[in-house]
Amino acid sequence: MRLVLVILGMLGVIEVLLAQENDIGTKDYKSWDFQVAYGVQQPIGVLSNRFGYNLNIGGGLRHRWADNRYFVGVEGGYIFGRRVKENTVGWLYNEEGYIFGWSSDGGFEVPLLLRERGYYGGIQGGRLFAIGDSKRLNFVRLNIGLGFLQHKIHFVDDSRSLAQLFGDYGKGLDRLTYGWAMRQGVAFEHISSKNRFNYYVALEMTEGVTRNRRSFNYDTLMRDNTLRFDLLIGLKFGYYFAYYYGSTDTLIYY
> All domains of the chain, ordered by start, with CATH?
2-83+115-158+174-245 (2.40.160.20)
Residue 26 pLDDT greater than 50, yes or no: yes
Q: Decide which of 6 and 46 is more confident.
A: 46
Residue 126 to residue 20: CA distance in whole angstroms: 29
> Rounded CA gap, 163 and 215, in Å?
20
Q: Is 21 helix (H, G, I), strand (E, B) or coil?
A: coil
The average confidence (pLDDT) of the chain is 84
Q: What is the pTM of this model?
A: 0.82
Q: Kindly state the helix (H) or strand (E) to which residue 6 belongs, with its residue range.
A: helix 2-18
| Residue 16 reports pLDDT greater than 80 | no
Whether the pLDDT of residue 124 is over 50: the answer is yes
Phi and psi at 87, nearest 5°, equal -90, 100
Kindly tell me if the per-residue pLDDT of 108 is higher than 90. Answer: no
Backbone angles phi, psi at 132, to 5 degrees: 70, -155
Interatomic CA distance for residues 199 and 241, integer angstroms: 9
pLDDT tens digits, residue range 131-178? 876 556 899 999 999 999 999 999 988 777 777 777 788 899 999 999
